[in-house]
Structure 1
Amino acid sequence: MIAVACTEQHKQPNQATISINTDVQAINYNPMIFGGFLEHFGRQIYGGIYDPGSPLSDDNGFRKDVILALKELKIPVIRWPGGCFVSGYHWERGVGMDRTPTDDMAWGVREPNTFGTDEFVRFCSLVGCEPYICTNAGNGTVEEMCNWVQYTNGTSGDYSQLRIENGSIEPLDVRIWSIGNENYGAWEIGHKPKEQWAQFVLKAAEAMKKVDPQIQLSAASNEDYAPHLLDMAGPYLDYISIHGYPLGRLHEKNEMPDYLSCIIKSENPEKRINSFISILENSGYRGQIKIAFDEWNLRGWHHPGFPRKSVQDYSDPEVKKLVKARENNSIASQYTMADALFSASFLNTCLRHSEDVEMAN
């Protein structure tokens, strides 16, 4: 391993000096640091990885070109189905033959439910990666979470039988689960105060591990919620989850930020990781509970004009304008070398803290 560090004072403004040390010992890290994240948002699922009828798709509707690209990247784990989407998602609507479309209350659209649990696990199998399921702690229940675990991993019970009836005789073997998404945030469906969130996670974790004691559990938190969460539910958690978009919602006007602003934000993930390491240390869980930075990017997604409590009529011309503005946020040309450098810096930070950080998505 080669370590690079600035060791001399700059002799002139804007002059950098680097030193290469070839004696540094190689570090051990968990490959899940290089994980991925899929949310039912925009074209990530429908028209993205799943596009039945496309000449680029296989017989089951999975995009062959996307699968090939992800296999080349050797993606080790993918988190699904959200994201804010999951706080209004009821998984039973996405299994079996009856896939009735429902309202997606997070993003204000209609969810067709044609891509669900079985499709996600099958997609992960094609990619060669571990499935990581995030549960609904918004308007969902602990019972719903437990039924989901039994559906994927159980060998007996009503939901195991439902999986068999849906074509999967053997368990789907989903090992990694998250209790909720950003339920610490006021923007999230089912936002909970920190004491209530800690109690909910405790109840969910206890119940889910009774269904399958071998699963690994994560719960999302911020620096304010984390001490309460660990104090209450720590014995049942394998990960504590961090989310971070340090530049926030950049595309409020669909304009690119200046380059320097992007680069300066590269230090933000390290600050947050160090904060959580301190919290874990103070709680006595460092080394036992690892950090999962399971949502990250330089910038958050822009959702211009969309209320988060209702579903829009997409035939309305004004709504079409809003959709177009939102879609602009995903155009590849919007992403520059600043995004690439931030991503490289983020992954480097995770590697340097690999003793504590075991997964990133």
Structure 2
Amino acid sequence: MTHATLTLDPAFTIGTVDPRLFGSFVEHLGRCVYTGVYEPGHPTADEHGLRRDVLELVRELGVTVVRYPGGNFVSGYRWEDGVGPERPVRLDPAWKSIEPNAFGLGEFMIWTRRAGVQPMLAVNLGTRGVQEACDLLEYANHPGGTALSELRASHGAREPYGIRIWCLGNEMDGPWQTGHKTAHEYGRLAAETARAMRMIDPDLELVACGSSGAGMPTFGAWEATVLEEAYDQVDYISLHAYYEPLNGDLETFLASGAMMEAYIEDAIATCDHVRAKLKRDKRIHLSFDEWNVWYMSRHQADPPTEWRHAPRLLEDHYNVLDAVVVGSLLIALLRHADRVKMACLAQLVNVIAPIVTEPGGRAWRQTIFHPFAQASRYGRGTVLRVEPNAPYAGDVPALHATAVLAEDGTLTLFAVNRSLTDALELHATVRAFGEPRILEHSVLSDPDLEARNTADDPDRVRPRPVGTSAIGDGTLHAMLPPASWNVIRLATR
């Protein structure tokens, strides 16, 4: 048994949580779209072929914004293929797949309305450019009276879609990307595309591509160069990061949240350096629009070898430890809510996802579903500055924590015990809130760190209530099991 302490005080805040921090991602990759969100003929499918069982789980998950259609897929995508009655079948070289284009922009927009999420649309700046981006924007957002807006109306959508968030390409720093560019090439293209799009619709929120990961050899220099070209034209720069237990090193895996925080802080430093250099008042915010646990080494060791429609790609089945790490990554995002305004768990269904389906069959929640759903439900409000004092688990403190104060006075403490072996006895000073009372303490943990949810046992791993936590003398006392995700909610009024 080890001890950890922290202090919660409403006088010390980080910032207000933008609800779009709880976003996700739908890409034409594997079975995310086909037999994921879209499966005509499924027993639960609606008149548009959308799976109602998946829609119910998406609403329960609490997703607020969804990025579409990629991802690597978008860098070779012709958006015109996915609208109207004629849908050509194409090769998708990004994932060596056959793309039938049965699901496109119109179907996605219907799905977003039924899911209750805001769309985030990516444009192809790999094989296409300024004109194609402007054409897509006109098709999607212009009210009517032009060739492309009337084409949308003829496809059954008289009212404009009103899409506000647009990503200017995807991972253009990556050599694997169709149409990969240097920072100077991309920065110039992003700036010109942004200028042209704002001439059509000045109220857009635009995201420039940052590095594909902190480990990229051009990280930092890429962001600086792109922003020097496009600072005045964009509002956000993107971050992407995936984590996995390499070589069985679970201790380092549990420290993923610390690596994410360092990545965020380095990106902020670069953005603010360019701001100072250009003498601008505007601050660039961050869109962490791809993040998750992803066993990428398995994919790299077994790439697809045949051209197939909706192959089973990147279908990681998550365990208890994966859920704890996802909880820690959510804590990292919340701890930087002053600058990280949007984030997308990648992806939503089947592909490295919180939701799993079977073709024609059931849908269920993976272990990582639960920390995301709890963070989205209870992580709305003002993030408090939390500085835990705890023994170390490897190279990082065993306790990773943040707290969010809601408008109704509910205080939620999110805490991860990173130790694989020792429980943490937490003592949190809460006297600044008067005499709060505990509403609930739930824990996601299990003696079997490999435990997973399945179609036959979908609730094997889930948060469970704890009745031993208490408040006395202005201090919250709680026990955090080894390798656990904890949510403790207090009523402060």
Sort the TM-score into its range (normalised by shorter chain): 0.7 to 0.9
Rounded to whole Å, the distance in 1 between the matches of 2:266 and 2:85 is 46
Question: Could you tell me which residue of structure 2 aligns to residue 12 of structure 1?
Answer: none
Encode CA deviations 1:33-61: one digit per residue, 9 max, x unaligned: 11111111111000000000110211111
* Partner SS, residue 255 of structure 2: helix
Please, what TM-score do these two structures have when normalized by structure 2?
0.63
- Which of 194, 197, 201 is the matching residue for 1:212? 201
Question: Could you tell me which residue of structure 2 aligns to residue 8 of structure 1?
Answer: none
Between Structure 1 and Structure 2, how many residues are aligned? 327
Q: Indicate yes or no: 2:293 matched with 1:336.
A: no
Question: Among the aligned pairs, what percent are the same residue?
Answer: 35
Structure 2 gaps of 5+ residues are 212-219, 345-493
Pairing 1:110-121 to 2, within 5 Å after superposition? 110-121=98-109
Pairing 1:268-279 to 2, within 5 Å after superposition? 268-279=259-270
Question: Could you tell me which residue of structure 1 aligns to residue 233 of structure 2?
Answer: 236
Rounded to whole Å, the distance in 1 between the matches of 2:239 and 2:228 is 17
Q: Which moved more, 1:276-285 or 1:90-99?
A: 276-285
CA contact (8 A) 2:257 2:331 kept: no
Pairing 1:1-361 to 2, within 5 Å after superposition? 16-25=2-11, 27-155=15-143, 156-222=145-211, 223-247=220-244, 257-284=248-275, 288-299=283-294, 301=296, 302-304=299-301, 306=303, 312-314=306-308, 327=313, 329-332=314-317, 335-361=318-344
> Once the 2 structures are TM-superposed, how far is the Cα of residue 305 of structure 1 from its aligned partner?
5.0
Rounded to whole Å, the distance in 2 between the matches of 1:35 and 1:231 is 28
Q: Which moved more, 1:341-350 or 1:236-245?
A: 341-350
Which structure: greater helix fraction? 1
Rounded to whole Å, the distance in 1 between the matches of 2:321 and 2:128 is 38
Encode CA deviations 1:200-249: one digit per residue, 9 max, x unaligned: 1111111111111111100111222111111111101011111111449x
Letter in 1 for 2:332: T
CA contact (8 A) 2:96 2:308 kept: no
Which one has a bigger Cα radius of gyration? 2
Q: Which moved more, 1:21-30 or 1:167-176?
A: 21-30
Encode CA deviations 1:43-94: one digit per residue, 9 max, x unaligned: 1000000000110211111010111111122211000111101111110000
Encode CA deviations 1:155-197: one digit per residue, 9 max, x unaligned: 2421111101101111011110000000111111100011111
Rounded to whole Å, the distance in 2 between the matches of 1:312 and 1:207 is 39
Rounded to whole Å, the distance in 1 between the matches of 2:307 and 2:242 is 29
Rounded to whole Å, the distance in 2 between the matches of 1:139 and 1:259 is 40
Rounded to whole Å, the distance in 1 between the matches of 2:85 and 2:248 is 46
> Once the 2 structures are TM-superposed, how far is the Cα of residue 342 of structure 1 from its aligned partner?
1.7
Structure 1 gaps of 5+ residues are 1-14, 251-255
> Once the 2 structures are TM-superposed, how far is the Cα of residue 23 of structure 1 from its aligned partner?
2.0
> Once the 2 structures are TM-superposed, how far is the Cα of residue 260 of structure 1 from its aligned partner?
2.5
Q: Could you say if the C-alpha distance between residues 47 and 16 of structure 1 is closer, same or farther in structure 2, counting changes exceeding 3 Å?
A: same
Letter in 1 for 2:251: L
> Once the 2 structures are TM-superposed, how far is the Cα of residue 304 of structure 1 from its aligned partner?
4.6
Q: Could you say if the C-alpha distance between residues 304 and 119 of structure 1 is closer, same or farther in structure 2, counting changes exceeding 3 Å?
A: farther
CA contact (8 A) 2:98 2:308 kept: no
CA contact (8 A) 2:272 2:283 kept: no
Please, what TM-score do these two structures have when normalized by structure 1?
0.85
Rounded to whole Å, the distance in 1 between the matches of 2:308 and 2:157 is 36
CA contact (8 A) 1:242 1:292 kept: yes
CA contact (8 A) 2:295 2:316 kept: no
Instruction: Write out the 4+ residue segments of structure 1 that deviate beyond 6 Å after TM superposition.
Output: none
CA contact (8 A) 1:286 1:356 kept: no
Q: How large is the RMSD of aligned CA atoms in angstroms?
A: 2.2
Which structure: greater strand fraction? 2
* Partner SS, residue 293 of structure 2: coil
* Partner SS, residue 286 of structure 2: strand
* Partner SS, residue 45 of structure 2: coil
